A and B are shown apart, each in its own frame.
Chain A
Amino acid sequence: MRVQVDGEKCQGHNRCYAIAPELFDVDELGFAFALHDGAVPAELEEKARMAVANCPEFAISIVETP
């Protein structure tokens, strides 16, 4: 599983960073980006789904990798 943040949609609510700081960080302006190229270790998949489900701007998506 991978996560990605749509930089056009992100408005810096920082919900993803609060929920899953292992997967997301924020820049100095507060806009989010995915860490480790978006790679999600198996044990963090639930947190990744939580980050998606709590983004008010629908800016985060999950890309299932084979």
Chain B
Amino acid sequence: MTARRPPVTDWATDFDHTDPQWVADPYPIWEALRTTCPVAHSDRYGGTWLPVRHDDVAAVAYDTEHFTSRSVVVSEVRPGSNDLPAPIGVAPPITSDPPFHAMARRLLLPAFAPKAVEALEPFTRELCRELLDAIEGRDQVDAAVDYARHIPLRVIVKMLGFPQEDADVFRRFIRMVLEDVDMSPEDRQAVEDERELEHYIDARIAEHQAEPQDDLTSFLLDAEIDGQKLEPDHVRGTMVLLMIAGIDTTWSAIGASLWHLARTPQDRKRLAAEPALMPTAVEELLRAYAPVTMARLVAKDFDFHGCPMKEGDWLLLPFPAANRDPEVFPDADQVLLDRVENRHGAFGLGIHRCIGSNLARMELRVALEEWMLRYPDFELSDPAAVAWSAGQVRGPRTIPTRIL
């Protein structure tokens, strides 16, 4: 189903974010580009740009005139005539442009504001303890599969008011959207034609319409813009967005943090000894292992630092590369758990700042707190078996771990 591309030999002119070398360790690639070719270009995916310096990534994120968010996942398929046109896009507000973006976003913000997220902390903590109980007594565990991946999934499912046992259904949808960028246009179309996800969500919507609940689904069904209920496509698109954006990303951040601690005894010991350091450490782990690279489409022809960008070109927006720019972060490649000055962009910059950032941060902190309480000492049992996801969300999908 997936056609593998030829390996990349020149990262400045032929980069590919699904190449095994990028997937395994993208940081040296970005570091080399930063000094030689800070805005790289590749003909792959029909033409894609790649800024790697913090300032350039920020400039693109702030420039909604020349870059549209109509599609934020690079693939062989650009948004077609079947998709909702700009400014709404298929998954508002992440795929929306101003001015519609602000309305669609404003609607969702209260559900993800710090005080709303605080209310979910006890559920999250209980969930983490439950997952740790389930692996109690084993000396070999997979920190990604047995622990990290369940946390954001079940939190989002709870927020939406969907059945907890549907976790596996969600997992399959997410894989399809985020990791199968190599799928041919024909294959992708075939998958989309089945409309499985749409049917699943429509069934949940119907249940909520029949019997409204105190959850995000009923909140969306009840929400209005300018006195009008949201279009069904808007509600469905936003739910897809929350599933896609809220799960793999946070799973990746929790997994990468545990992976770091498993291979870094001094940081593990320090966190175990100084639990009050956790909030600062969480920001540093987010900076160093930011999972999410966004994308834009060039909205109109223009010249960006001498690069002739054409309408319809893709642009990868690697916040993880921006976070490793030594111009902004001294010792950028070192994880300093007590880094005091840390303006990282792990959750993006500008108007599309990750709406779930408070939720993700809470989940990461609670997941690490509970893990460290239960297992203050652990290590990678098979470092070579750690596998990183391909695509725009980077995290370890398997972390064989030995409990010490």
Interfacial chain B residues near A30, Cβ < 8 Å: 109-110, 112-114, 358
Q: Which residues 1-26 of A have a CB within 8 angstroms of B?
A: 11-15, 17-18, 26
**Can you list 9 residue pairs at the A/B interface with Cβ under 8 Å?**
A12-B113, A13-B357, A14-B357, A29-B109, A30-B112, A53-B340, A53-B342, A54-B341, A55-B343
Q: Is B345 an interface residue, CB under 8 A from the partner? A: yes
Complex CA–CA separation, A58 to B75 (angstroms): 33
Q: Which residues 320-354 of B have a CB within 8 angstroms of A?
A: 340-345, 347, 349-351, 353
Count of chain A residues with a beta carbon within 8 Å of a chain B beta carbon: 19
Complex CA–CA separation, A55 to B353 (angstroms): 13
Picked from B106, B283, B342, the residue with its CB within 8 Å of the CB of A29 is B106
A28-B110 in contact given A11-B349, A11-B353, A13-B347 (Cβ < 8 Å): yes
Q: Which residues 92-139 of B have a CB within 8 angstroms of A?
A: 106, 109-110, 112-115
User: How many whole Å from A53's CB to the nearest CB in chain B?
Assistant: 4
CB-based contact A12/B353 at 8 Å:
yes
Complex CA–CA separation, A11 to B349 (angstroms): 8
Complex CA–CA separation, A56 to B346 (angstroms): 9
Complex CA–CA separation, A17 to B114 (angstroms): 9
Picked from B113, B279, B347, the residue with its CB within 8 Å of the CB of A18 is B279
Complex CA–CA separation, A15 to B343 (angstroms): 9
Residue of A nearest to B351 (CB): A11
Interfacial chain A residues near B343, Cβ < 8 Å: 53-56, 58
Which residue, of B110, B114, B341, has the highest number of chain A Cβ atoms within 10 A?
B114
Residue of A nearest to B322 (CB): A56
Residue of A nearest to B319 (CB): A56
Complex CA–CA separation, A9 to B194 (angstroms): 42
CB-based contact B341/A53 at 8 Å:
yes
CB-based contact A12/B340 at 8 Å:
no
Interfacial chain A residues near B342, Cβ < 8 Å: 53-54
Q: Which residues 33-58 of A have a CB within 8 angstroms of B?
A: 50, 53-58
User: How many whole Å from A12's CB to the nearest CB in chain B?
Assistant: 6
Interfacial chain A residues near B361, Cβ < 8 Å: 18
Complex CA–CA separation, A57 to B350 (angstroms): 7
Residue of A nearest to B342 (CB): A54
Known A53-B340, A53-B342, A54-B283; 18 more pairs at CB < 8 Å: A11-B351, A11-B353, A12-B357, A13-B347, A14-B114, A15-B283, A27-B113, A28-B115, A29-B109, A30-B110, A30-B113, A30-B114, A30-B358, A53-B343, A54-B342, A56-B347, A56-B349, A57-B349
Interfacial chain A residues near B283, Cβ < 8 Å: 15, 54
Residue of B nearest to A46 (CB): B340
Complex CA–CA separation, A57 to B347 (angstroms): 11
Complex CA–CA separation, A54 to B279 (angstroms): 13
CB-based contact A26/B113 at 8 Å:
yes
Interfacial chain B residues near A11, Cβ < 8 Å: 349-351, 353
CB-based contact B109/A12 at 8 Å:
yes
CB-based contact B351/A29 at 8 Å:
no
Q: Which residues 252-285 of B have a CB within 8 angstroms of A?
A: 279, 283
CB-based contact B351/A14 at 8 Å:
no
Picked from B106, B112, B341, B353, the residue with its CB within 8 Å of the CB of A13 is B353
Picked from B106, B114, B349, the residue with its CB within 8 Å of the CB of A26 is B114
A14-B358 in contact given A30-B112, A54-B341 (Cβ < 8 Å): yes
